[in-house]
Amino acid sequence: MPTTISLLDLYNIMYDHMDPNGWWPGRSDWEVIWSTVLIQNTNWKNVDKALKQLYQATNFDPEKILTMPLDDLKQTIKSSGSYTRKAATIQNLAAYFQQYNFDLEAVQLQPKEKLRKELLAIKGIGPETADVILLYAIQKSEFVVDTYSRRLFACLGCEIPAYERAKKILEAQLPRFTLRSYQNFHAMIVMFNQENKLPDDFSKTFLANYQLKLQE
């Protein structure tokens, strides 16, 4: 019979078995920001190629990206797929950061609720992308309710609701979680999915004998 565990228990079990440190490397926080858009509906192999081209063309500088002709930007990131939409979203993001003079330290001083609302108002930015930007580039504690987490939690016998409701429930389970803990948890959930084909191979993993129970 599976052992019932809390969300915090799950974090600690995964941390004892995995090493999430340095999981999302980046030349700069700007690289992380652009990659959150480029990774949508594709794989990292395609993103890596697009990032190399984007770096060569702009050095990831948001001001250069903002002033770059849109057609040039489309061609630069073409390998990531859906490049017309993604190019527009990237320039929308660059325009957003312009109001902060492209100063990420100034952005980090703002309340995360304000920043999240602003990011979600940008065309092309959904809840998952906004939360990843906040978590990794702007250093705000957020639980990213992505496909990887849903898949893992389902394997652990725990179905979660739609994004905003799920996020609220999950974050309530982790009252003393720090930024590093949120980053670690997200990284480990993604890594676990990448290392194991879920749900097919779940029974062979170190989590096979656990069942996740969330507090009401």
Task: With cut-offs at 50, 70 and 90, classify the pLDDT of residue 53.
Answer: very high
pLDDT at position 26 over 90: no
Mean per-residue pLDDT for 143-165?
A: 97
Please give the backbone phi and psi of residue 150, each rounded to the nearest 5 degrees, phi first. -60, -40
Task: With cut-offs at 50, 70 and 90, classify the pLDDT of residue 23.
Answer: confident
CB distance 11 to 185 below 8 Å:
yes
- pLDDT score recorded for residue 197: 96
Type of residue numbered 98: Q
**Of residues 168, 177, 165, 173, the one with CA closest to residue 213:** 173
Q: Is the whole model's pTM more than 0.85, yes or no? A: yes
**Of residues 166, 176, 210, the one with CA closest to residue 192:** 210
**Of residues 99, 88, 38, 36, the one with CA closest to residue 63:** 99
